[in-house]
């Protein structure tokens, strides 16, 4: 099975990455090479095998509900591309 160009475009969009026309062919090839490489996992019989998300057998590590200090606002905003000292600023939002 191959990933179609449309699927690749949709996935690029899902990751909010512009995909220019001149890259499409190379990406299509590169990604399908990865797909071909990954495809061998499908030949393994994994019936009744549970999925591993957490490699450690850790359980019940949590914090109790206690308030702790937050960051000073200047530090929270120190690396912001655009801010007004109170809020982070983003370009206008056009509902799609």
Partner 1 sequence: MKEWEAVIGLEIHVELATASKLFCGCSTAFGAEANTQVCPVCLGLPGHRPILNRGAIEYAIKASLALNCDITPQTTFDRKNYFYADLPKGFQISQFFYPTGTNGYIDVEVGDRVRRIGIRQIHVEEDTGKLVHLGDIASSPYSLVDFNRAGVPLIEIVTQPDIRTAGEARLFLQKLRSIIEYTGVSDCKMEEGSMRCDANISVRPPGSATFGTKTELKNMNSFRAVQRATEYEIERQIDVLSHGEAVIPQTRHWDEAKGITVAMRAKYLATDYRCFPDPNIIPMDNDPGWVESIRQSLPELPDARIRRMVEEHGLPGYDAETITSSRDLADFYEATVNLYNEPKVVSNWIMGEVSRCLNAAGKKLAETPLTPRRLAGLLQLIAKGTISGKIAKGVFEDMFASGQDPEAIVQEKGLVQIADTGELGSLVTNVLAANPKSVADFKAGKEKALGFLVGQIMKETRGKANPQLVNQLIRERIEGM
Partner 2 sequence: MSLLQDLRATSLLKLLKAREITAEEITAAVLGKISEVDKQINAYITVTGEQALAQARQADRALARGGDIPPLAGVPMGIKDNICTAGVKTTCGSLMLAGYTPHYSATAVERLGQAGAVMAGKTNLDEFGLGNTNKTSYFGATRNPLDPARMPGGSSGGSAAAVAAGEASFALGTDAGGSIRQPASYCGVVGLKPTFGLVSGYGVIDFAPSLDTVGPLTLDVQDCALVLQAMAGRDPLHPMTEGAVAPDYSSFLGRDIRGLKIGLVREYFGPEIAPGVKSRVLAAAEKLDQLGTIVEETSLPHAAYAAAAYLVISTAEAFSNLSNFDGVRFGHRTGGQDLHNMYRRTRFEAFGPDLRQKLIFGALVLGAGHYEEYFVQAQKIRTLIKRELKESLRRYDLLLTPATPDPAPALANDDSLAMRNQDMCLLPANLAGLPAITLPCGSLDNLPVGLQFMAAPYAEGLLLQVACALEQQLARPWA
CA–CA separation, 91 vs 84, rounded Å?
13
Please state the closest distance from residue 34 (CB atom) to partner 1, in A: 17
Burial 67-84 (b: 16+ CB within 10 A, else e): eeeeeeeeeebeeeeeee
Nearest to 31 by CA among 5, 58, 62: 5
**Binds partner 1 by CB under 8 A, chosen from 1, 26, 38, 58:** 58
**Binds partner 1 by CB under 8 A, chosen from 40, 50, 54, 81:** 54
Q: Which residues bind partner 2 (CB under 8 A)?
A: 3, 7-8, 10-20, 23, 26-27, 30-31, 33-35, 37-42, 44, 46, 49-56, 58, 61-62, 71, 75-82, 88, 90-94, 96
């Amino acid at each position: 099975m191959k990933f179609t160009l449309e699927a690749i475009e949709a996935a690029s969009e899902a990751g909010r990455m512009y995909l220019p026309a001149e890259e499409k062919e190379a990406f299509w090839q590169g990604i399908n090479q990865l797909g071909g490489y990954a495809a061998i996992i499908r030949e393994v019989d994994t019936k009744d095998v549970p999925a591993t998300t957490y490699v450690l057998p850790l359980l019940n590590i949590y914090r109790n509900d206690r308030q702790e200090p937050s960051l000073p606002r200047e530090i929270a905003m120190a690396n912001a591309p655009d801010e007004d000292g109170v809020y982070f600023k983003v370009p206008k939002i056009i509902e799609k």
